[in-house]
Structure 1
Amino acid sequence: MMDLETTERKPVIALTGASGYIGNNLLKKLEKQADIIALSRNGDNYENTENVTWRSADLFSLKDAEKALEGADYAVYLVHSMMPSAKLTQAKFEDMDLILADNFAQAAKKNGVKQIIYLSGIIPPDADELSRHLKSRLEVEKVLSSYGVPVTTVRAGLIVGPKGSSFPIVKKLVKRLPMMLLPKWTRQKTHPIALQDVLGALKGSIGNKKLSGESIDVGGPEVMTYREMMIDTAEVMGKKRKLVNVPFMTVNLSRLWVSVTTGTPKEMVYPLIESLIHPMVANPENMDKDLSYGKTTFKEAAKSALEQEEQEQQEKKKSSTSNSKTSSNISDVRSVQRVLLPEGKNAEWAASRYINWLEDFGSPLIQTSIDHRNNANIYLLGKKPLLKLTYAHERSHEKRALYYITGGAFTKPEEKPGRGRLEFRQIPNSQECIIAIHEYKPSLPWFIYTLTQAKFHIWVMYLFKRHLLKIIKQNHQQPRLITDS
């Protein structure tokens, strides 16, 4: 384990999500012993200090990710994309998480980062089928490891702190419901751990050669059910609650009930509740004697979290300014779909195939053209281009084809082309390909766009996916998924 206080020079640690719940607390724990590159989508809103340099970075952009990690010795990855990242997001969180992780891993490799530390969830060893959330967490871990940078994964269950996801949901249920009907998942075993204990494990993993390329489970001193946590939380809050076990509430019904009751967005609640079919208990075989065993009891952690939340609310009332993220009025679009490629084909092939297929599919209304530099235009009735796509030669290769959206009737006119782009990206060690539109600004009025062009795009991508599957079937191929790697 590296002692951050006794190294010859201060290490430089790039910290993603530095303005978020876990990231900001970890920043405070590290800033006296290391130089921190604090990464946030709104990094320009924060002031640099002696040991902390803020950088704005949109990790959906590989170029941004490369700039973000310049000069870093180590990188802590705390990114999760459950919530929408644009005014209109047409994407599964799993696919967005994959893009983010792939960009980060490539950028870490390019900048000579020595180690990536990744906070993930506990993976049940005997599960027949993982939930979407846990499957995505495992997929991200594999992608982060795909470019040769050693990854240390810290796997935690429910983290008890004033913010985050799971514990605030427990707190809101206890606060708002005098009587709770508890479905079967509330009797599932989980392994809560205090925020401070998780921060200690993350800090202790940085530069820890023993854990290079390894994953560890972490947990607090108690294994509990959600029912037991609700009872303890009610006691800490000084509330009396009646809890009734019920056998008839399905996971699908439970996730809707929790979302409505707590006011938590379904994008966050649904994947979390789906994961509760699994016991989320740290495996002793995967635990490190120095870092895995949290000392803080659930009641102590819950009390501390509630006190900290109260203190933060009081400070917020007194303060007239805030460095928190500001909402954006930009009408931008992110749309991400995942497809299977025929064996031996790559992202470069998929891009060319898509543009040619689009004309075959849309004929005679839609025509396309590709010039000698791979720039592409999409036309309506062969006249004015609907979209102009400029091929980015310096950012493209056989595993990635990138086009900037630089004009056309369907693109919002700007003095200079913006960051709108279309990319085809092959997932490492697989025949899967991500097709993504980022930061696209449509010219149509927003409500018309969402009802017409946006829906048409999803339909077209569905048909292109079927087209590729038809080719695979005709070739009698068995595509390799990322899980085979």
Structure 2
Amino acid sequence: METTTERQSRPKVILTGASGYIGQNLMKKLKEDYDIIALSRGGDSREDEEHVEWRSCDFYSMDDSLESLKGADYAFYLIHSMMPSAKLTQGSFEDMDAILADHFARAARKNGIKQIVYLSGIVPDDLPEEELSRHLRSRLEVQRILESSGVPVTTIRAGLIVGPQGSSFPILYKLVKRLPVMTLPTWTRTKTHAIALDDVLVALKGSVGNEEVKGRAIDVGGPDVMSYKEMMKQMAEVLGVKRHFIDLPFLTVNLSRLWVTLITGSPKEMAYPLIESLIHPMVAHPDRMVEGISDGKKTFKEAARESLEEERKKKEEAERKRDEPSDDKESKPVAEKIKKSDVRSVQRVTLPEGKDAHWAGEYYLEWLGKALGPFIRVRTDEDGVSRIYIRFFSRPILELSYDPVKSGEDRAVYRITGGMFANAKDAHSGRLEFLMIPDTSDCVVAIHDYMPSMPWFLYKYTQAKLHLAVMYAFRKHLERQGRLGRSSTSKKAGGSVGTPSSIEAQG
């Protein structure tokens, strides 16, 4: 029986994505030695258990992030944003990942987290960053954002993780299972370093509090390095099926991701970025390997067999529970909440040199009135409330209130507090945010939790499209300002032409 002293001596860890594929399995291992604060969007609906406290958290909210990371020693970062997070999601997963990582990093620093352990992907050594796939570039940016917090970060980089209910492995399994004849593009000859889920969990847990790996990126891999074609052949052997493979070098990645999505039924938001990364060799680099952390023990075949067996048992258990009559409502899975009619729209712009998020917010509202002058007017009062009007209308279409309390540290927050276009009564948390990406001139402009007042169909194909067009024009305008600013500074004789504050000159 555990004593009071033993309970008090157990470190406490934050586990993000605790209800996800990696998180659920990692939790089982961590419970042996740690007390866990398990974070999930639906955490409040979960029952706490021994050594596990559930909390709800939306990392798009800075307030949620700060509150959820309280009271912990270490934190695991297992977050990605490939799947839509609102009824209408506009923007790239890379920009959304940047927001999530920034909020987490700031919250970790302010809550005194001692170490962040982050699960990422293996990055090829011999390629410039701009030539990497979107997914790998995003993983690198997330790593840099986490590191900008000043909290020591251990990045565990893995290739294809072999386990049930994952992302890449189920795609491989479904392709081999469903296609008796497989046409293989060039990328199927790319080498990758598969690793069993259990070995990844060992690496993640073994990194906590480990001084040897603090502040480092560590590659991990199993005993097998092989091409995707070789993995498909071994998968066919595990399944006990005969498959024919035909090399088709002219089949591009874009065509590949289309047919892979159609055959496997995987959501394109998840599958496309992953398949784009398959052109890169993802093999653990010896200089980034640490004994006891990097060296996975299970072969691909062993891990594949175990994964399929585990998946079979889970399906049988689910069918058994479904067939059993029960009046115990608590034993039934918690139903997912029906999505409300909310909007998340995220776009990235590059600011002129020396400018920050506070400048961007003020400049955007000023530019909006100038650029759309014949149709739109913007009035900002001394109290920080900006109202956007359609010309000749007495009521504003949107009312934005600058929030000095929530703003700060390269962030400007405007609450959506009214206007004919906003359902402000139900959307009290709607906001427009300007967030700087650490150590860059990039600023993410994001609308969160906005609920439009007009009928959804009408909003989706009018106001939502117009917002994207306006943000595109704003981004292009800033690019011109940046070019003019650089040009003017190169001249020996100074002048006011092209300065970032001259909206009238550039329109």
Q: What is the TM-score normalised by the length of structure 2?
A: 0.91
Q: What is the match of residue 175 of structure 2?
A: 173
C-alpha separation between the residues in 2 aligned to 1:196 and 1:147?
30
Q: Provide the secondary structure at the position in 1 that maps to 2:486.
A: coil
Q: What is the match of residue 483 of structure 1?
A: none
C-alpha separation between the residues in 1 aligned to 2:334 and 2:32?
23
Q: What is the match of residue 388 of structure 2?
A: 378
Q: What is the match of residue 444 of structure 1?
A: 454
Query: Displacement, 1:113?
Result: 0.2
Encode CA deviations 1:140-199: one digit per residue, 9 max, x unaligned: 000000021000000000000001110000001011111100111111000000000000
Match of 1:311 among 310, 313, 338: 313
C-alpha separation between the residues in 2 aligned to 1:182 and 1:209?
44
Q: Which amino acid aligns with 1:259?
A: T
Q: Provide the secondary structure at the position in 2 that maps to 1:209.
A: coil
Q: What is the match of residue 342 of structure 1?
A: 352
Asked whether the equivalents of residues 416 and 424 of structure 2 are also in contact (C-alpha less than 8 Å), the reply is no
Asked whether the equivalents of residues 45 and 323 of structure 1 are also in contact (C-alpha less than 8 Å), the reply is no
Q: What is the match of residue 482 of structure 1?
A: none
User: In the alignment, is residue 394 of structure 1 matched against residue 405 of structure 2?
Assistant: yes
Query: Displacement, 1:323?
Result: 3.7
User: In the alignment, is residue 405 of structure 1 matched against residue 416 of structure 2?
Assistant: yes
Q: Which amino acid aligns with 1:399?
A: D
Q: Provide the secondary structure at the position in 2 that maps to 1:248.
A: coil
C-alpha separation between the residues in 2 aligned to 1:335 and 1:477?
33
What is the RMSD of the two structures over their aligned residues, measured on CA atoms? 1.7
Larger Rg: 2
Asked whether the equivalents of residues 59 and 104 of structure 2 are also in contact (C-alpha less than 8 Å), the reply is yes
Query: Displacement, 1:302?
Result: 0.3
Structure 2, unpaired ranges of 5+: 323-330, 490-507
Asked whether the equivalents of residues 116 and 149 of structure 1 are also in contact (C-alpha less than 8 Å), the reply is yes
User: In the alignment, is residue 202 of structure 1 matched against residue 200 of structure 2?
Assistant: no
Q: Which amino acid aligns with 1:339?
A: V
Q: What is the match of residue 261 of structure 2?
A: 259
Query: Displacement, 1:295?
Result: 0.3
C-alpha separation between the residues in 2 aligned to 1:276 and 1:154?
19
Match of 1:426 among 426, 436, 439: 436
Match of 2:371 among 336, 343, 361: 361
C-alpha separation between the residues in 1 aligned to 2:140 and 2:334?
30
Encode CA deviations 1:47-87: one digit per residue, 9 max, x unaligned: 00121000000001111011110001000000011111111
% identical equivalent positions: 57
Query: Displacement, 1:329?
Result: 2.9
C-alpha separation between the residues in 2 aligned to 1:46 and 1:187?
44
Query: Displacement, 1:398?
Result: 5.8
C-alpha separation between the residues in 1 aligned to 2:155 and 2:333?
30
Q: What is the match of residue 48 of structure 1?
A: 48
Q: Provide the secondary structure at the position in 2 that maps to 1:276.
A: helix
C-alpha separation between the residues in 1 aligned to 2:402 and 2:63?
15
Map 1:75-86; keep pairs closer than 5 Å.
75-86=75-86
Which stretch of structure 1 is more off in the superposition, 160-169 or 307-316?
307-316
Encode CA deviations 1:425-467: one digit per residue, 9 max, x unaligned: 1111111100000111111111111110000000000000011
Match of 1:293 among 287, 295, 298: 295
Runs of 4+ in 1 over 4 A off after TM superposition: 5-8
Q: Which amino acid aligns with 1:384?
A: R
Which stretch of structure 1 is more off in the superposition, 349-358 or 382-391?
382-391
Q: What is the TM-score normalised by the length of structure 1?
A: 0.95
Which stretch of structure 1 is more off in the superposition, 381-390 or 100-109?
381-390
Asked whether the equivalents of residues 346 and 398 of structure 1 are also in contact (C-alpha less than 8 Å), the reply is no
Q: Which amino acid aligns with 1:375?
A: V
User: In the alignment, is residue 100 of structure 1 matched against residue 111 of structure 2?
Assistant: no
Query: Displacement, 1:318?
Result: 2.5
Query: Displacement, 1:409?
Result: 0.7
Q: Provide the secondary structure at the position in 2 that maps to 1:326.
A: coil
